[in-house]
Amino acid sequence: MATAAKTPPGADPKQLERTGTVREIGAQAVWSLSSCKPGFGVDQLRDDNLETYWQSDGSQPHLFRVLTRKTTVKMLCIYADYKSDESYTPSKISVRVGNNFHNLLELRQLEMVEPSGWIHIPLLDLVNNPIRTFMIQIAVLANHQNGRDTHMRQIKVYTPVEESSIGKFPRCTTVDFMMYRTIR
């Protein structure tokens, strides 16, 4: 019974990937969860399958962390579906970034109302650049209907792609330029 407008689903991240402007870097990172039910862990979170999910099994807030070398992160995409998860669907999410566990700073807090698809969370700093960070922590602070545990179906982390192969120019648009850009 959401009086606020429902959160509209965002575009499928796959299409974003095809534009070549972003690249998924989850595979290069180390993922960890605060808690999980056996059989519903990190693999299910990262398996590109919207049917499987992570189910937490502890007390709130539920956390999951992404640890990499220092990477530029532009956007985070979360798949959440109220219709299938009901009370397990997260409603308030906080994104924190930093160097390690001890100096995480909250970047964004996001409220979702009955989400039904992909939620895009842009991660930008004060001057609206993509952030460069070692670790990202996503905290699920509250669920719909005050559920205790949460389901998270899929998460993707995106970094911007610098298209320019040589020289620090933005991308070329014509094939004529792109042909000569590189030797393959």
Closer CB to other proteins, 101 or 169, in the complex: 169
Cα distance between residue 181 and residue 184, in whole Å: 10
Closer CB to other proteins, 63 or 107, in the complex: 107
Count of residues making up the chain: 184
CB of 130 closer than 8 Å to CB of 70:
no
CB of 112 closer than 8 Å to CB of 80:
yes
The DSSP 8-state label assigned to residue 124 in this structure reads B
Closer CB to other proteins, 70 or 83, in the complex: 70
Count Cβ neighbours within 10 Å for each residue of 60-96 and write b for 16 or more, e otherwise: bbbbbbbebeebbbbbbbbbbbbeebeebbbbebbbb
Closer CB to other proteins, 39 or 170, in the complex: 170
**In the complex, minimum distance from the CB of residue 173 to other proteins, in angstroms, rounded to a whole number:** 4
**In the complex, minimum distance from the CB of residue 96 to other proteins, in angstroms, rounded to a whole number:** 21
**In the complex, minimum distance from the CB of residue 30 to other proteins, in angstroms, rounded to a whole number:** 15
**In the complex, minimum distance from the CB of residue 76 to other proteins, in angstroms, rounded to a whole number:** 15
Phi, psi of 97 (to 5 degrees): -130, 160
**In the complex, minimum distance from the CB of residue 66 to other proteins, in angstroms, rounded to a whole number:** 16
Supply 153's token pair.
């179906």
The DSSP 8-state label assigned to residue 5 in this structure reads P
The residues binding other proteins (CB under 8 A) are 17-21, 23, 25, 27-28, 74, 124, 127-130, 159-160, 162-184
Closer CB to other proteins, 3 or 174, in the complex: 174
